[in-house]
Amino acid sequence: MKIKMMSRWNASCGVSAHAEMVGRIWRKMGHELKVLAPLENNLSRTEKDEPYVVRCYELNEKWSGKEKPLFNPVPFLEDDFDVFVVQNLEMMPLQELLEIYPVIREKAKTVLVVHEGGPPQNPYFYKFGWDAVVCFDERYKDWLKNIYPAQQINIIPYPCYPLKKGDRIEARQKLNLPLDKKIIFNYGLGVFRHIHLLPTIERLNKKYPLVLLTLTHVEDWYDLFSALKERYKFIELRKGPISVNDLYTYLHASDVLLIHKDHASCVVVSSTAYLCMGAGCPLLVSDTNFFETLNEEVIKYKNLHELRCRLEDIFEKKTSIINSLKAAEKCVQKYSSYEIGKKFIELFALLKTSVRKEVSVLDIGASSEVPSPEPKIAVVKSPAAYSNLQNPALDERNLKSA
């Protein structure tokens, strides 16, 4: 099967993590994949791009103030393909994509993977017809059914990175970390959310000599923790981004991964939890809706007192912690990237044999969610008509600075 996927890729975000886990599995299964990815700042890149990745547009978030985002339509229209997948449509250059979308629909079945936590405000979001819409659980379906026909919506859970345990001593030696201290690991875009936890961790440090291992690629957060390190000497600071393989070395070296997220007003999942669950490292998380679909697989705390108690349980390897690790391993096996990737392929195969029924989403109850004015509907053109539209700024030679 020939698949084109429009998504972030090799970037430090949950959309990219999902796309990479299923996309690489599709290739291992023998399917042909071409990834149409946005230009990314080097600070966000986690891996060198594979030959099948083409960077040919900018995300909506990156062109604020510009007349138009950079967008090269040629990679979308060239070649024959069976399925066109879009991850996180809201963030894409919607007007530019809409112009060529009828040509894509002529070529292939189209699938939307929903990462949005609620109905987007951008009216162009609602102008795309899909052969299938994929979401992660019933919470997403609850709001999607007001936009799309119920039979179009498919629940395919967020995938887990495959089980990959490691040796703690070996990992610490590789990372030049102390062998005789407990290590609490936190990383990523949201490390700043852990600042209010520092006094509690400091008090625990008196009983259990420890290191708060903090890794981030965000310069502001790196500078912030550099300043905090003057006050909290137990902070060990490292600079990212890093590959998933390197991330797992950090997880193998750690006693616990700490993930603090505040309650969100929309539907959310923690991609970090699914990405890291296979390392054999306990996941200590705030009890918010980011983790409401997870139970024993993670260890939850509601307040600072519970945070300290849970950390002590982890350091003492209490039975509840052992049980949590066993539950996490079962979850990884059930929702492995292979199993989830296979569910997508089964859906694609079903779509290939089905007859498309064109239905406007505006006829299915979305009109109340769609701001006016109405955008202009795209006009179908042949792929050749777009051959002269390639933006010089997206030429392969210029991507080195992207």
pLDDT, tens digit, 9 for 90 and up, residues 183-205: 999 998 899 999 999 999 999 99
Residue 43: per-residue pLDDT: 58
Q: Are residue 366 and residue 286 in the same domain, yes or no?
A: no
Q: Are residue 224 and residue 372 in the same domain, yes or no?
A: no
Residue 63: per-residue pLDDT: 47
* Whether residue 388 has pLDDT greater than 70: no
Residue 67: per-residue pLDDT: 64
Q: Are residue 356 and residue 216 in the same domain, yes or no?
A: no
* Whether residue 377 has pLDDT greater than 70: no
Let me know if residue 255 belongs to a domain.
yes
Let me know if residue 396 belongs to a domain.
no
* Whether residue 361 has pLDDT greater than 60: no
Domain with residue 107: its CATH number is: 3.40.50.2000
Residue 355: per-residue pLDDT: 77
Residue 342 CB: number of other CB atoms within 10 A? 16
Q: Which residues of 197-231 are buried (b: 16+ CB within 10 A; e: fewer)?
A: bbeebeebbeebebbbbbbbbbeebbebbeeeeee
| Radius of gyration, CA atoms only, the chain | 22
Q: Are residue 287 and residue 360 in the same domain, yes or no?
A: no
Asked whether the CA dihedral 332, 333, 334, 335 is positive or negative, the reply is: positive
Range in 63-72, 127-136, 376-385 with the lowest mean pLDDT: 376-385
Residue 358: per-residue pLDDT: 59
Alpha-carbon span 400 to 102, nearest angstrom: 32
* Whether residue 210 has pLDDT greater than 50: yes
Q: Structural domain tally of the chain?
A: 2
* Whether residue 369 has pLDDT greater than 50: no
Alpha-carbon span 46 to 187, nearest angstrom: 14
* Whether residue 372 has pLDDT greater than 50: no
Residue 40: per-residue pLDDT: 86
Give the residue from 73, 93, 76, 142 showing the smallest Cα distance to 114: 142
Residue 396: per-residue pLDDT: 42
Let me know if residue 196 belongs to a domain.
yes
Tokens at 383, concatenated: 């792929």
Q: Which of 64-68, 83-87, 214-218 has the highest mean pLDDT?
A: 83-87
What is the pLDDT of the chain when averaged over all its residues?
89
Q: Are residue 95 and residue 133 in the same domain, yes or no?
A: yes
Q: Which residues of 261-293 are buried (b: 16+ CB within 10 A; e: fewer)?
A: beeeeebbbbbbbbbbbbbbbbbbbbebbbbbb
* Whether residue 159 has pLDDT greater than 90: yes
Residue 254: per-residue pLDDT: 99
Q: Are residue 278 and residue 372 in the same domain, yes or no?
A: no
Q: Are residue 186 and residue 269 in the same domain, yes or no?
A: yes
Q: Are residue 281 and residue 380 in the same domain, yes or no?
A: no
More confident of the two residues 372 and 278: 278
Give the residue from 184, 176, 178 showing the smallest Cα distance to 205: 184
In which domain, by residue range, is 356 found? 2-159+337-390
Q: Are residue 352 and residue 313 in the same domain, yes or no?
A: no
* pLDDT per residue as tens digits for the range 320-331: 999 999 999 999
* Whether residue 239 has pLDDT greater than 60: yes
* Whether residue 293 has pLDDT greater than 90: yes
Alpha-helical runs (H) found in 41-180: 74-77, 94-107, 138-144, 168-175
Alpha-helical runs (H) found in 292-335: 304-315, 319-334
Q: How confident is the model at residue 69 (pLDDT cuts 50, 70, 90)?
A: confident
Alpha-carbon span 354 to 200, nearest angstrom: 57
Q: What is the largest distance, in Å, between two alpha-carbon atoms of the chain?
A: 70
Let me know if residue 193 belongs to a domain.
yes
Q: Are residue 232 and residue 151 in the same domain, yes or no?
A: no
The rounded percent of the chain whose pLDDT value lies above 90 is 80
Q: Are residue 287 and residue 184 in the same domain, yes or no?
A: yes
More confident of the two residues 63 and 282: 282
Q: How much is the average pLDDT of 223-239?
A: 95
User: Residue 282 CA to chain centroid, in angstroms?
Assistant: 21
**Cα pseudo-dihedral 272, 137, 32, 386, rounded to 10:** -100
Alpha-helical runs (H) found in 242-401: 244-253, 271-276, 304-315, 319-334, 337-352
